[in-house]
Structure 1
Amino acid sequence: MEDDEAQKQVEQMTKFILREADEKVDEINAKAQEEFSIEKSKNVQEAKQKISKEFEKKEKNIEVKRKIDASNELNQSRLRILKAKEEGVQRILSVAHKKLGELSKDQNAYKKILKDLLVQALLRLAEETVNVVARKQDLALVESLLTEAAKEYQSKTNKPVNAVLSKTYFLAPGPEQATKEGEFCTGGVVVSSGDGKIICNNTLDARLSMAFEQNLPAIRTTVYGKSLTRKFYD
């Protein structure tokens, strides 16, 4: 009888130990599953954040590139407009230059202009002796005007001037006789001091260039209208 009781107690203890072991295993498994779920959730969240950051970075890079491309295109567009405007202005200068070249064909008008250019150059230099260089085709005309121009200079300054016309050096010929390099002079004179240190370029070409540069802002405004971005005008 005592053996049966002892056996029963052993069986009960065994069952209790096994039940405790099963509960412990279940507890360990539950804890492991919980930790796995937490770690998995953490990893998923970190992966999502990483993907989100990478996406934001790529999105920002795309936006920056888009802005750079748009800015470059705008700048290129502005440059094309500026180039077209500059070409238009240069065409105006070319037309003016061509018309200026026809001026010397009117001998009476050209003679008066030539004398005025001579007197103006003499007044600018204010030298006792000057050298005058003209186009070869204008040699006789300029020579006939030297005395008259010198007298007008003297009447304005009360000083005499000795104007020497070069028979060796000449300005480029007129447009119809342009050199192989395309060089030509529409008329006028170049006057220098006796020692050649001071030079007054009073050709029609030089006068046109000077007038063109001085009036360039006004020319652009007349042709293209006022600039919306420009605040100051020369």
Structure 2
Amino acid sequence: MALSDADVQKRIKHMMAFIEQEATEKAEQIDAKAEEEFSIEKGRLVQAQRLKIMEYYEKKEKQIEQQKKIQLSTMRNQARLNVLRARNDLISELLNDAQLRLARTAADPEAYQRLLYKLVFQGLLRLLEPEVTVRCRPQDRLLVEAAVKKAIPEYMTVSQKRVKVQIDREVHLAVNAAGGVEVYSGNQRIKVSNTLESRLELSAQQKMPEIRKALFGANPNRKFFI
């Protein structure tokens, strides 16, 4: 049975409507898929950027924390150095004051004479040499001669050795020195420094732990005591 033109047109319109519907649905599916993929990609990018931002600020926070620790450590070290410097300055002032007081020792001739004898006698015993040279301040020559005369027999009694002592008349201790003597072996290769300055320095070295404890208290970090 042949179709009329009207039927043909009707079927064509129906097929076109169907195709158009299919195309619309397909387009909607593509749009939906694209939107979904866009959302997924956008979420991935946002998350990636969020992680980068978090990592950046975590890194910055760690850097700031590290800088704070370094600054705090630097400040503590500086404070410790300042304390040590102040303590050393105080000790230096005390030693300078003690050295100034040494100059007063020679002001008492009798006490200074006894001290010179002990210093000469100790020098002889430390050297145990047959020939010895003694140096002193020019203004102490007579006092030192008397000290030597007294020390020689005492030395011979204690050491059972003879000794020849001469006072150096060419080389002297400084006029402005605090006092005391230097005792040399005959060849002058060995020296015993018994000046008042050297005795003060030696005493300060030996007594420094006690001095520091008296001034600043016991060191809590010190574990061994000799």
Q: Give the TM bin, normalised by the shorter chain.
A: over 0.9
> What's the CA shift string for 1:32-56, capped at 9, x where partnerless?
0110111111111111100000000
State whether residues 133 and 189 of structure 1, in contact with CA within 8 Å, keep that contact through their aligned partners in structure 2.
yes
Corresponding residue for 1:83?
85
Corresponding residue for 2:200?
208
TM-score in terms of structure 2 length: 0.96
> What's the CA shift string for 1:71-95, capped at 9, x where partnerless?
0000000000000001111111111
Corresponding residue for 1:26?
28
Query: Which of these residues, 178, 193, 197, is aligned with residue 189 of structure 2?
Result: 197
State whether residues 134 and 170 of structure 1, in contact with CA within 8 Å, keep that contact through their aligned partners in structure 2.
yes
Corresponding residue for 2:123?
121
Indicate the percent of aligned positions where both proteins have the same amino acid.
40
Q: CA deviation at 1:225?
A: 0.6
Q: CA deviation at 1:106?
A: 0.3
State whether residues 117 and 202 of structure 1, in contact with CA within 8 Å, keep that contact through their aligned partners in structure 2.
yes
Q: Which runs of 4+ in 1 moved over 4 A?
A: none
Aligned residues: 224
Say if 2:49 is the partner of 1:47: yes
Q: CA deviation at 1:7?
A: 1.2
Q: RMSD value over aligned CA atoms? A: 1.0
Gaps of 5+ in 2: none
State whether residues 217 and 233 of structure 1, in contact with CA within 8 Å, keep that contact through their aligned partners in structure 2.
no
Gaps of 5+ in 1: 175-184
TM-score in terms of structure 1 length: 0.93
Moved more, 210-219 or 139-148: 139-148
Corresponding residue for 1:63?
65
Return the letter of the residue paired with 1:110: Y
